[in-house]
Amino acid sequence: MFTDKNTESSETIMNTVKSLMAYVKQDELTEMREAGNVFGRNGKRTKESEEVRGKYVMQCAGLYESFYYRYTTLFYAIIDDPDGFDLEKLKVFLRMKDKVEVTKEISHEDASKKIGEEEYDKYVKPLVTENSK
């Protein structure tokens, strides 16, 4: 979890995420995103697709420059799949961020453990349980 003292407020992050999601869902950008996701037989983007992808990323990053640099992984998760982006999961993380940074209810270490346990219980434990039968 990113807990630099200069992070934006959770509200600012959420507002930027919603704005970026709305931006990339515009018809023109949806077309660019889809054109940038054309793959050849080798499993790699075609030359044309790679060019469009670069323009798409640069256009989004240009408008949301500080967000792009500060939260790069989050930025790409949104622009690559805005319809599949899990806004509820982000809300959980931002609430935890507030508990660490704002209210100081929980330490960074305890927050990391809690999130790790929740993710394990959700994604790993069912597979382990199923495979041990």
The per-residue pLDDT for range 4-51, each reduced to its tens digit, is: 455 689 999 999 999 999 999 999 999 999 999 999 999 999 999 999
Domains of the chain, residue spans? 10-83, 88-131
Place of tokens 């949301």: 64
pTM of the predicted model over 0.95: no
Q: Residues near 90 by Cβ (< 8 Å), separated by ≥ 6? A: 14, 17, 74
The per-residue pLDDT for range 39-92, each reduced to its tens digit, is: 999 999 999 999 999 999 999 999 999 999 999 999 999 999 999 999 999 999
d(CA 60, CA 62): 5
Q: Tell the burial category of 56 from Cβ atoms under 10 Å away from its Cβ (0-12, 13-18, 19+).
A: buried
